Structure 1
Amino acid sequence: MKRVLSIILLGVLMLSLSCNPSNKKADEIIGKSEPVIEKHEINRVEPLNWWVGFKNKSLQLLVHHPNISEATPSINYEGVTIEKVQKADSPNYVFIDLNIPDGTKAGKFNIQFAFKNGEVKEHTYELKSRLKPAEDFVGFDSSDAIYLITPDRFANGNLDNDIVASMNETSIDRKDGYKRHGGDIEGITKHLDYISDLGFTAIWPCPLLTNDMSEGSYHGYAMTNFYEIDPRFGTLDDYLELSSKLSEKGMKLIMDQVANHCGLEHWWMKDLPFKDWVNDQEYYEKNKDHWNWKTVNTSNHRRTSNQDIYAAKNDKEGMTDGWFVATMPDLNQRNPFMAKYIIQNSIWWIEMAHLGGIRQDTYPYPDKDFMSNWAGAIMHEYPNFSIVGEEWSYNPLLIGYWQEGANNKDGYDSNLKSSMDFAMQKNIVEALNEEESWDKGLVKMYEGLANDFHYATPKDIMIFPDNHDMSRIYTQLNGNKVNTKMALSYILTLPRIPQVYYGTEIFMDDFAKPGDHGLIRTDFPGGWLGDKVNAFTGEGLNDEQKEMQTFLKRILNHRKNSKAIHEGKTVHFAPENGIYLMFRMGKDETVVTIINKRSEKFDLDLSRFEEIGLKGKTLKNIVTGDTIVWNDTLALTEKGSMILTTKL
């Protein structure tokens, strides 16, 4: 009889549990909960997944499916609640605001969508556990040296993904600078030893997300899916492996992101959720079937309108609302759903790929209040992270405006740790190309650095000899190898975060057509089967190219462990007699950078530098290994640079 009663009671208990599957106490009595039967009956839900344990407990899901606005969504998962369901202008979208409080467990659950006709569709969503604390997402800083790569042009590690038949651009043509060449993520991963041995501590690949455009898709800046690695570059697993391999080497992965625009072939351009999802949308909708690049409202590129107290409204709107180019729709970050979409996408990639930083393209072009919110949201979640924004300006006032801590007259706080020093880059090139005079030549480098009083934290600004959008530094310096080495010597010892473009170490150039983007982004020799020259191994390189690799390798590897360069005090002396000296001083080391434009032998009087306190000390040349004693004079035998250290 007791056994019969026990069976009856157990049956009653099971019946009550089936009516209340979220009852935690009942689950504990049984000891397990029913597994989720995965279903993916909805076309698109983004973000693709999320994590528990964020400071911000809210998550907004973009859901895209035919007539999804007619459906009522529901979730039955302990801790997760639907706060709000918001329809869009298109009936094929809904936005679901979720609350995910502390204590919510990682796991999978089904979102049910009940349509008015009685049909029910389900989509399985996952909340993952975070694999490391937010504080451990450490970004790049002045102790790093960053290697910039155009992935399509660096190395082809996987021949099988060169052509994807389902995509709009399917041709491979290495002779055409604007066609795809086949470089990919695997090609980068296979050559991390080369990059690490050179002395770089971080890599910044140009965007790797899907660019399903009909042409020019190789560069990556016209994204057509913000949650997908371009299959011609590889898979998400390939990207995660790259990040993991970098981490094993103590290196960082910086992701190139674009908040300003997308590609014209982005999936949502065929069914825009709101009437103001992109700027100039009404015009686009009327003309999209015969889109004419000549009539689109392209940006006026008046970046100063962000700060100009006299700027006309027309100029401001032309800057922020105009399309960057006709094939790149300008995203409207003033739409709150778009704003949240971009912020969540950035956080998704940081968490998914354990990024060591973000480089944000075309930083001054989006709505600047949004950009402050975007950077602020990221830094709120990851307090030790780093973001650098591209501000292509030669005016230090504009560069400094975007950096966090700037004392801006309009009160603007960017939340942006780092901006790019195009002004100093230009000063360096002009200083080395010009003949010396009281207002030309090395004085431009000196006065460029003297502008650091304007920056909140100069050492957090990114400096570079060149990048993927400008002529190679060797070309800018008219093929002068000595001047190229001087530029690198100065850049790598400045109070800055240095970035070097791939191929600089072998004097890559674009002399055939200076400034041509396809030529600037030339294939790295050795990255393709059959290459007669292999810069990774040294095979086929001439002596000057090999020597340049060694030159950079010795400076960069010394720089890795030099706190004097990372964070030391800076003192420089105004150029005299075509010679300019900069000192970087730490507790245990002083580094001296000498830039000498004189061709004839010259004895440099060292008494002028007495305040540095080096008299009688032995210093070593970082590149050659030779030592000198710092006494009365220093013999400079030829034009060039010299980097000396007190660390023997």
Structure 2
Amino acid sequence: MTIKQLSQLNLASYTTNKTFYPSPNAWEDQVFYFMMLDRFSDGKEKEYKDNSGNIVSNGVNPLFDGDQNNATRTPEGAERWREAGVKYVGGNLKGLTSKIGYLKRLGVSAIWISPIFKQVSFQETYHGYGIQDFLEINPRFGSGEDLQELVQTAHANGIYVILDIILNHSGNIFSYEAGTVDYNGTPYQVKGFNDATGKPSIPFRKTDPNKPATWPQENDAIWPVELQDPSLYTQKGRIRNWDGYPEFLEGDFEDLKDIRHGFGGLDDYVPSPALKYLAQVYKYWIAYADIDGFRIDTVKHMDKGATRIFASMIHEFAQSIGKERFFLLGEITGGRQRAFETLEETGLDAALGVDEIPDKLEYLVKGYRNPRDYFSLFRNSLLVQKESHVWFRDKVVTMFDDHDQVRKGQNKARFCADKDATKVVLNALALNALTLGIPCIYYGTEQGFDGHGDSDRYLRESMFGGEFGAFGTRGVHFFNENNYIYQEISQILQIRSQKKALSRGRQYLRPISGDGVNFGLPQIIGNEIRSVVPWSRILSDQEIVAAINTDYYQPREAWVTIDNELHKEGDFLTCIYSTDKQQVGQTVKIAARNGKAVKITVPAAGFVIYE
């Protein structure tokens, strides 16, 4: 059914006598996985394991065999490959559905999918952030029925589904009289709504929802029809000062058109019809497809009052159908203070940790950040007026690779792009998974993707082959469950799922010592740190100790402080995971040093867990 008018929506018809998949008891127990849908799977691969674990042999694209740069060995091939990176390459919902088993066996329990709704037809907005029809699936990705099948398959495998949604703006749905214009605080004249070819040939006036004969064509302007009202858009041109008030709230996000949400303060905010329309739209998708949460794009650029009202409407609706903890994750740039103030004031459930966390995590593992710089991100009690850092465990989704890497400017690079970084990417994944917050894996990291360059495109390689495959390839896929990184993080995530202390426990960066007498936190000496970096997670009377080694080339040994009251001198901790499999099952004796401590060895570029 194609819906073009919100008055056609009868939410009760989608909720009556229907049992919805319940929310998890605790989101911090989950492991997220984020993929650009167009770049993930087209369902045409062969030599991979299907959702039941059987090898698929009747596909088209074979498994990558290590032959890099098969697409880029000539200048012409390299140019073709680069140009493919800014266009659709063919991933879709059915392809993702066929890889739920791959994700489950990895240890993923929640998938976050880039926007799936219909885009403006005259641009290659494969990323999904330029919506033209909020009530229709992008036909390049599939149909509404395909989305339902995906969600049902995910739920059958214990995986929640989070959709990436946009409230702040629409796609490039109209053009200004003066062409490309920058924000100056006043509205500009608009030439017209854009048609399917990008020409502003549609009159820029309010469409009468009651007169379908006067409506534009389905690929013109914006849908549903209620959004074809000029008063719903600020019409003030592109943001140039991304922190300038009120520019960052009122301006267009480049050529995407800013939506007017309403006016007023946090407590007396008056929502616009557009905000109410969008809330109705997203309630529909929850009911239609049994969605478990939303990641909300560009929250920084929305009034907090608008965010609060939207969050309340969505939470109330979700609770009314049995989803008690429907998850609302906000992309809130501008640092921790802004992020956590926004959470407290708006009712969003968590912030996406895309500011300081990725930088400090990545370069701690690579040996160029002090460990305390990363671990202190979760202990900023005074800033958020909270007494315990445990509060952070379900309030931030943490990751280190992502799809735009604002923090790296024009020098985009996945973790594995650096020399020898594949030796320690498992440490980054482990540190992310076993420290506070809800961990999120960016697709391809578990296969060692190394995209880098001066554009976002290089961070968005294709997992399934196509024209823009990872490592400069085309026509080969990367769903390799024998990959060392995949196998090891799968083991680590299995341990995380079994040990609640690793997802819910208090967290402590632990002092170390070389001689067992002089203890101190591990820290940079000169310009690098090549050391054991240990931390503890404590839940009730259970302590689990984990440690990475930032030395790529040799094992490191250290005395590691543990909780003084939970342990007795002469007792033992047992290794339950190590990148050196010979260590698993071995014990270390607890000694009365710096309170209590154990002496552990961490393999070169390695990782261990003791309990």
Tell me which of 391, 398, 405 is aligned to 1:463.
Answer: 398
Matched residue SS, 1:188: helix
Query: What residue ranges of structure 1 are gaps of 5+ in the alignment?
Result: 1-37, 53-105, 107-126, 160-171, 271-277, 304-314, 405-412, 539-544
Shift of 1:571: 2.5
Shift of 1:301: 5.2
Q: Deviations over 1:476-533 (max 9, x none)?
A: 655512332222111100121111111001110123x15x211111111457999664
Tell me which of 502, 515, 521 is aligned to 2:460.
Answer: 521
**Hey, what's the Cα distance between the residues in 2 that align with 1:200 and 1:414?**
28
Equivalent residue runs for 1:335-414 within 5 Å: 336-381=272-317, 382=319, 383-393=324-334, 395-404=335-344, 413-414=345-346
Q: Deviations over 1:357-380 (max 9, x none)?
A: 110001110222101111111122
**Hey, what's the Cα distance between the residues in 2 that align with 1:281 and 1:185?**
41
Structure 2 residue 31 is matched with structure 1 residue 145:
yes
* Alpha carbons of structure 1 residues 441 and 557: separation in structure 2 relative to 1, 3 Å: same
**Hey, what's the Cα distance between the residues in 2 that align with 1:480 and 1:140?**
33
Confirm or deny: 8 A CA contact 2:362 2:415 kept in the other structure: no
Partner of 2:408: none
Structure 2 residue 375 is matched with structure 1 residue 446:
yes
Confirm or deny: 8 A CA contact 2:578 2:606 kept in the other structure: no
Matched residue SS, 1:420: strand
Tell me which of 191, 203, 228 is aligned to 2:136.
Answer: 228
**Hey, what's the Cα distance between the residues in 1 that align with 2:366 and 2:240?**
31
Structure 2 residue 117 is matched with structure 1 residue 209:
yes
Confirm or deny: 8 A CA contact 1:137 1:355 kept in the other structure: no
Structure 2 residue 321 is matched with structure 1 residue 321:
no
Shift of 1:612: 5.0
Shift of 1:429: 2.4
Partner of 1:621: 576
Tell me which of 543, 551, 554 is aligned to 1:590.
Answer: 543
Q: Deviations over 1:93-136 (max 9, x none)?
A: xxxxxxxxxxxxx5xxxxxxxxxxxxxxxxxxxx7515136x93
**Hey, what's the Cα distance between the residues in 2 that align with 1:329 and 1:185?**
27
Structure 2 residue 22 is matched with structure 1 residue 136:
yes
**Hey, what's the Cα distance between the residues in 2 that align with 1:482 and 1:346?**
42
Shift of 1:453: 5.8
Shift of 1:153: 0.8
* Alpha carbons of structure 1 residues 600 and 317: separation in structure 2 relative to 1, 3 Å: same
Radius of gyration: which is bigger? 1
**Hey, what's the Cα distance between the residues in 2 that align with 1:507 and 1:452?**
35
Partner of 1:507: 448
* Alpha carbons of structure 1 residues 363 and 479: separation in structure 2 relative to 1, 3 Å: farther
Deviates more, 1:478-487 or 1:603-612: 603-612
Matched residue SS, 2:434: coil
Partner of 1:44: 4
Give the alignment's Cα RMSD to 1 decimal: 3.4
Tell me which of 332, 356, 371 is aligned to 1:423.
Answer: 356
Shift of 1:433: 4.2
Confirm or deny: 8 A CA contact 1:593 1:641 kept in the other structure: no
* Alpha carbons of structure 1 residues 621 and 452: separation in structure 2 relative to 1, 3 Å: farther
**Hey, what's the Cα distance between the residues in 2 that align with 1:237 and 1:390?**
28
* Alpha carbons of structure 1 residues 128 and 377: separation in structure 2 relative to 1, 3 Å: closer
Shift of 1:537: 4.2
**Hey, what's the Cα distance between the residues in 1 that align with 2:279 and 2:26?**
20
Partner of 1:154: 40
Structure 2 residue 166 is matched with structure 1 residue 258:
yes
Confirm or deny: 8 A CA contact 2:400 2:415 kept in the other structure: no
Matched residue SS, 2:147: helix
Tell me which of 127, 140, 153 is aligned to 1:245.
Answer: 153
- Letter of the 1:233 counterpart: F
**Hey, what's the Cα distance between the residues in 1 that align with 2:161 and 2:150?**
8
Shift of 1:603: 3.2
Structure number with the bigger relative contact order (C-alpha 8 A, sep ≥ 6) is 2
* Alpha carbons of structure 1 residues 216 and 612: separation in structure 2 relative to 1, 3 Å: farther
TM-score (norm 1): 0.67
Tell me which of 579, 597, 601 is aligned to 1:636.
Answer: 601
**Hey, what's the Cα distance between the residues in 2 that align with 1:479 and 1:280?**
49
Partner of 1:299: 239
**Hey, what's the Cα distance between the residues in 1 that align with 2:358 and 2:115?**
23
Shift of 1:202: 0.9
- Letter of the 2:539 counterpart: G
Deviates more, 1:221-230 or 1:344-353: 344-353
* Alpha carbons of structure 1 residues 567 and 414: separation in structure 2 relative to 1, 3 Å: same
Shift of 1:252: 0.4
Matched residue SS, 1:261: coil
**Hey, what's the Cα distance between the residues in 2 that align with 1:190 and 1:227?**
25
Equivalent residue runs for 1:26-65 within 5 Å: 44-46=4-6, 48-52=8-12
Matched residue SS, 1:499: strand
Matched residue SS, 1:207: coil
Confirm or deny: 8 A CA contact 2:541 2:566 kept in the other structure: no
Shift of 1:216: 2.6
Confirm or deny: 8 A CA contact 2:32 2:441 kept in the other structure: yes
Matched residue SS, 1:403: helix
Matched residue SS, 1:375: helix
- Letter of the 1:132 counterpart: T
Matched residue SS, 1:402: helix
**Hey, what's the Cα distance between the residues in 1 that align with 2:522 and 2:25?**
39
Query: What residue ranges of structure 2 are gaps of 5+ in the alignment?
Result: 46-79, 176-182, 201-234, 263-270, 406-411, 512-520, 524-530, 592-597
- Letter of the 2:456 counterpart: H
Confirm or deny: 8 A CA contact 2:42 2:92 kept in the other structure: yes
Partner of 1:12: none
- Letter of the 2:188 counterpart: Y
Shift of 1:572: 2.3
Partner of 2:489: 552
Matched residue SS, 1:622: strand
Confirm or deny: 8 A CA contact 2:39 2:464 kept in the other structure: no
TM-score (norm 2): 0.70
Q: Deviations over 1:522-574 (max 9, x none)?
A: 11145799966442245xxxxxx811111111111222232112212222225
Confirm or deny: 8 A CA contact 2:536 2:562 kept in the other structure: no
Shift of 1:147: 0.9
**Hey, what's the Cα distance between the residues in 1 that align with 2:44 and 2:465?**
14
Shift of 1:234: 0.2
Shift of 1:473: 3.8
* Alpha carbons of structure 1 residues 219 and 611: separation in structure 2 relative to 1, 3 Å: same
**Hey, what's the Cα distance between the residues in 1 that align with 2:19 and 2:547?**
44
Equivalent residue runs for 1:556-595 within 5 Å: 556-574=493-511, 575-576=521-522, 578-587=531-540, 589-595=542-548
**Hey, what's the Cα distance between the residues in 1 that align with 2:333 and 2:419?**
22
**Hey, what's the Cα distance between the residues in 1 that align with 2:576 and 2:23?**
36
Matched residue SS, 1:524: coil
Q: Deviations over 1:406-448 (max 9, x none)?
A: xxxxxxx21111002222222212334454xxxx532322333
Shift of 1:610: 3.8
Tell me the number of residue pairs that the alignment of Structure 1 and Structure 2 aligns.
Answer: 475
Partner of 2:52: none
* Alpha carbons of structure 1 residues 233 and 447: separation in structure 2 relative to 1, 3 Å: same
Confirm or deny: 8 A CA contact 2:510 2:561 kept in the other structure: no
**Hey, what's the Cα distance between the residues in 2 that align with 1:521 and 1:148?**
11
Matched residue SS, 1:605: strand
**Hey, what's the Cα distance between the residues in 2 that align with 1:345 and 1:522?**
31
Shift of 1:201: 0.3
